[in-house]
Amino acid sequence: MSSNAYRWVMTAANAPLTRVAFDPFQPGEDEVTVEIAGCGVCHTDLGYYYDGVRVNHPLPLALGHEISGKVVAAGTAAKSWIGKSILVPAVLPCGECDLCRSGRGTICARQKMPGNDIQGGFASHIVVPARGLCPVDEGRLRAAGLSLADISVVADAVTTPYQAVSRAGVGPGSFAIVVGVGGVGGYALQIAKALGATVVAIDVDSAKLAAVSDYGASATFNAREMDARALKAAVQDFAKQQGLARTGWFIFECSGTAPGQLTAYGLLTHGATLSVVGFTMNKVEVRLSNLMAFDARAIGNWGCPPDLYPAALDLVLDGKVMVKPFVEQHPLAEINEVFAAVHRHELKRRAVLVPGAAA
């Protein structure tokens, strides 16, 4: 099969991403070739590119792990996938090791994360293991008013908080607090609401707080406008007014910033669950004994098991989690400009890079 396939690769931190040609049409026996519809730009990508966060694959490397597309070729053991529209899980566990068998596939030592362990999705095509792919019903997609490129962000920005919210145990009657509601946090808020919780949003950006007010936030608080003590008192007052418990709160740190982590930790109460979803290289100093004193728990969240993807996608296709208002498509050819704009916080929505789109 002839190919005009290409990928945009990182050759060094902060060096311009470069377009290179490659042949994607020789997948292994258990692999598929995906023609990419869209790939979302995640802050993890920016960490690799701007901050020198280590990647596992030698450079040059195409970044990108929020991938949707259509399978156009497959190895002998994966032929049934040809022609199907799919999401590629951001973390692809091996499915065979002790961790995978015990339900901890997200930390599988042999996992394959596009844009980290293997070549990623800022490309026209990608070759990935067939295990764990999430099929997409194109009829339901059209009925929901979404394109295949739009839902690329489900592969991380939606599924990662879905794992965090479901793993924490959020359900009807729960009280959830989301710190940092841009990107992943905005979806964490919607997911918690869809699972039956009353949800409060906290951020330092009034525009982000306004954006989520119509998508599940029962109250919003700007952490820039009050100190930690006043913020906790305001959240307690809201809980009391709504007849919610003063204990057992579910707190989701999604900002990926040191101040956000301190804010989230400061909201601990008796029986609370703190879920760390955002990532930062910065360190924070906290009194760890608060976990003991409050009989609380803290959970780290890395990716999402592929078996949870269909349920997360269902929330999107059923209109319970809205994606379209929070994404914007850009031509993949503009990747360097888009990276810079995202890094400068100029884009208000999550960028999705689309191969073949007019520049």
Tokens of 346: 């100029």
The topology (CATH level 3) of 6-156+304-354 is Quinone Oxidoreductase; Chain A, domain 1 (3.90.180)
Please report the pLDDT score of residue 356 as a whole number.
84
- The yes-or-no verdict on residue 357 having pLDDT over 80 is no
User: What is the number of alpha carbons within 13 Å of residue 348 lying toward its C-beta?
Assistant: 10
What pLDDT, in 10s, does the model give residues 124-176?
999 999 999 999 999 999 999 999 999 999 999 999 999 999 999 999 999 99
The whole-number average pLDDT for the span 292-297 is 98
Q: How far is CA 6 from CA 73, 170, 339, 340, in A?
A: 16, 42, 18, 21
Q: Which residues pair with 73 in a beta bridge?
A: 33
Residue 241 exposed, middle or buried by CB count within 10 Å (0-12, 13-18, 19+): exposed
CATH of 159-300, picked from 1.10.287.10, 3.90.1300.10, 3.40.630.30, 3.40.50.720, is 3.40.50.720
Which CA distances in Å does 263 have to 52, 210, 235, 253, 276?
A: 26, 20, 12, 9, 12
Does residue 2 surpass a pLDDT of 50?
no
Q: How far is Cα 174 from Cα 9, in angstroms, rounded to an integer?
A: 44
Please report which helix (H) or strand (E) contains residue 252, including its range. Answer: strand 250-253
pTM assigned to the model:
0.93
Q: Residue 358 above 70 pLDDT? A: no
Cβ-proximal residues to 215 (8 Å cutoff; 6+ apart), any chain: 186, 189, 190, 193, 322, 325
* Contact yes or no for 155/149 (Cβ under 8 A): no
Q: With pLDDT > 70 as the criterion, what percentage of the chain qualifies?
A: 98
Based on its alpha-carbon atoms, the radius of gyration of the chain, rounded to whole angstroms, reads 20
Omega of the bond leading into 259 within 30 degrees of 0 (cis): no
The answer on pLDDT for 110 being more than 70 is: yes
Helices (H), 79-158: 98-101, 138-143
Q: Residue 224: exposed, middle, or buried by beta-carbon count in 10 A (0-12, 13-18, 19+)?
A: exposed
H-run or E-run covering 201:
strand 198-203
Kind of pairing, strands 85-88 and 125-129? unpaired
Average pLDDT, the chain: 95
Tell me the HSE value of 190 on the side-chain side, using a 13 A CA sphere.
28
pLDDT at 32: 98
* Average pLDDT of the segment spanning 207-216: 92
Is the pLDDT score of 330 beyond 50? yes
Over residues 217-262, the pLDDT tens digits come to 999 999 999 999 999 999 999 999 999 999 999 999 999 999 999 9
Tens digit of pLDDT for each residue in 174-211? 999 999 998 899 999 999 999 999 999 999 999 999 98
- Local structure of residue 171 (DSSP, 8 states): -
Sketch the domain layout of the chain as residue ranges.
6-156+304-354, 159-300
